[in-house]
Structure 1
């Protein structure tokens, strides 16, 4: 072995020693690592690189909430079902000899990949091409539809004959709010003899008499900043605001009492638009896509995607302002209806698993 080899080996040995000391001195999560997506339902062991395995205690927290305290370095199990979907911050605080060291890991808990569905077209019905559809309901043999403004269109609530598409009754919203902003109609739903209708940026909702369309009152938004979609599950009004959240409102006071984040297996899903509650699930138009998401309203998981690409084939369809928007369900006849903004057709469809 020559001098260069000896020197080289000495330098390499020194680097290895420094590297080992550096690694030994770093308290960090080995798993799950920051940035990891964890599938909801998994029980995940929290493994940490401890520079020194002799400790007085270790306190584990999730988003600041106590998880577990230990007097040794054995793994702690994180039950994802107990903490739910979404971004979560894991912290391990290690105490020894009156000193504290901290390790962090930021993860996202996501559901399994959504089931994929396609459609079968059952029947076509005429639809007012001037209807900038924002909300849609089917009740008592009629469609109830809320529309927005744009291109000389005026926001409205209307009662529509299914078979002919004829507008049987209509109320237009031509006034302004306190900021002199014109009312832009958005999603709506029906509770007994009342229609509840949102506005987009005006931060208020309207309470209307279902029979006469006369205004009975208004209510302000709270944490939700905009009005997009609205449905009713029999207990709560469920509202979207264009974000990845769904808000749950008391149907008497209209106060927002809770919210959930909506996720698929890739992460948070924004642009939740028009909503319909069907057999325990929330169906949501995804703005800008011919796709309807099927959402679990308890967990926030997107459990399915219905791909409606190819349903509306009008060659004159514009790329903007003619998005798919409008889901209605006939609870008695078990029929599903869908349409879009300024579409000349409304479709009865059957959902088929792929």
Structure 2
């Protein structure tokens, strides 16, 4: 489980962003369209309208996030094309020169993508799963599961027989680190820790430590996967991070958006055919999102409510762990301390 402390930063920041985005303007001029705090779909062409209060205008300079995109010497209409800009919070401004003075009007927008497709699931197989495995990472290869588990006292790296759920090989932590996401590339296993900004590389055959690494600027490690060229890491925020395959340092990041805005609590990751599948860390719903890792757009949402019928505590039993079985084009999913692991086929609604 990630403790509530983990979201303290978000709890502080989000209300601030909301207040910032919906601030009222107190100058002589103000945007009538779009009103500050509006949510707009990327691709919309917005007809800008400013209330000039019948003042004789010398000129108006229109900007988005400080970058000028139009100039006028009168109050004639201006169109702002959202397609030319990215997702997220944007600040429109109109700098107005009139009567020998300079004033400015603002409108804060949230640019979002279209609503994602929704998916259900069909259970193909059900397998036993160790109820003491606090699953954080899952990877499938040739009938075998590689699994990482968390909590300092229970962190481990495992090799598991898919069919029986039997643990074939296991390396337990010493209580120092809270184990997190994991992935396999070639003959190596890459394993993150939660709060230590550290990861480890192990030999896949014998679980011997090859090296450790510091993963970069983000404060936490959650999920980890590999897209064939670079690693992709989550930290529980609405960002995903790209890691250099050689030194495993963060090189760039992308923020994740759906039609409602930024999507946070991105957790365990699996890269499949150009898309990123991510567990959402939430006790109240079992949900996986399908992300375009280039744009950060959530293109699909898989609702797994009703999948697991086992006993669940009020906390610490979130759905977590997703692996792709390429030969059948199915997914293997489980949760923290779940007694079952499921092979599922996705169905578009």
Write out per-residue CA displacement over residues 30-75 of structure 1, whole angstroms, 9 at most, x where no aligned residue: 1111111001222222221223564343222222233233333333
- Bigger-Rg structure (1/2): 1
Query: 1:108: which partner in 2?
Result: 110
Report the Cα distance in structure 2 between the residues aligned to 1:51 and 1:120, rounded to whole angstroms.
Answer: 60
Instruction: Label 1:33 to 1:120 Cα distance change in 2 as closer, same or farther (>3 A).
Output: same
Report the Cα distance in structure 1 between the residues aligned to 2:77 and 2:203, rounded to whole angstroms.
Answer: 59
What's the CA shift for 1:192?
A: 2.1
Report the Cα distance in structure 1 between the residues aligned to 2:101 and 2:294, rounded to whole angstroms.
Answer: 42
1:276 paired to 2:270: yes
Q: CA RMSD in A?
A: 1.8
Alignment of 1:132-281 (within 5 A): 132-149=134-151, 153-174=153-174, 182-281=176-275
Report the Cα distance in structure 2 between the residues aligned to 1:197 and 1:67, rounded to whole angstroms.
Answer: 46
The gaps in structure 2 that reach 5 residues or longer are 1-26
Alignment of 1:263-342 (within 5 A): 263-288=257-282, 289-314=285-310, 316-342=311-337
Instruction: Label 1:331 to 1:75 Cα distance change in 2 as closer, same or farther (>3 A).
Output: farther
Report the Cα distance in structure 2 between the residues aligned to 1:220 and 1:132, rounded to whole angstroms.
Answer: 23
Question: Does structure 2 conserve the Cα–Cα contact (< 8 Å) formed by 1:134 and 1:326?
Answer: yes
Report the Cα distance in structure 2 between the residues aligned to 1:166 and 1:146, rounded to whole angstroms.
Answer: 15
The gaps in structure 1 that reach 5 residues or longer are 1-24, 176-181
Report the Cα distance in structure 1 between the residues aligned to 2:253 and 2:162, rounded to whole angstroms.
Answer: 34
Query: 2:62: which partner in 1?
Result: 60
Question: Does structure 1 conserve the Cα–Cα contact (< 8 Å) formed by 2:183 and 2:189?
Answer: yes
SS in 1 for 2:314: coil
Report the Cα distance in structure 1 between the residues aligned to 2:247 and 2:54, rounded to whole angstroms.
Answer: 56
Report the Cα distance in structure 2 between the residues aligned to 1:59 and 1:222, rounded to whole angstroms.
Answer: 40
What's the CA shift for 1:242?
A: 0.9
What's the CA shift for 1:105?
A: 0.8
Report the Cα distance in structure 2 between the residues aligned to 1:278 and 1:202, rounded to whole angstroms.
Answer: 28
What's the CA shift for 1:95?
A: 2.4
What's the CA shift for 1:82?
A: 2.2
Question: Does structure 1 conserve the Cα–Cα contact (< 8 Å) formed by 2:329 and 2:345?
Answer: no
What's the CA shift for 1:235?
A: 2.3
Instruction: Label 1:82 to 1:219 Cα distance change in 2 as closer, same or farther (>3 A).
Output: farther
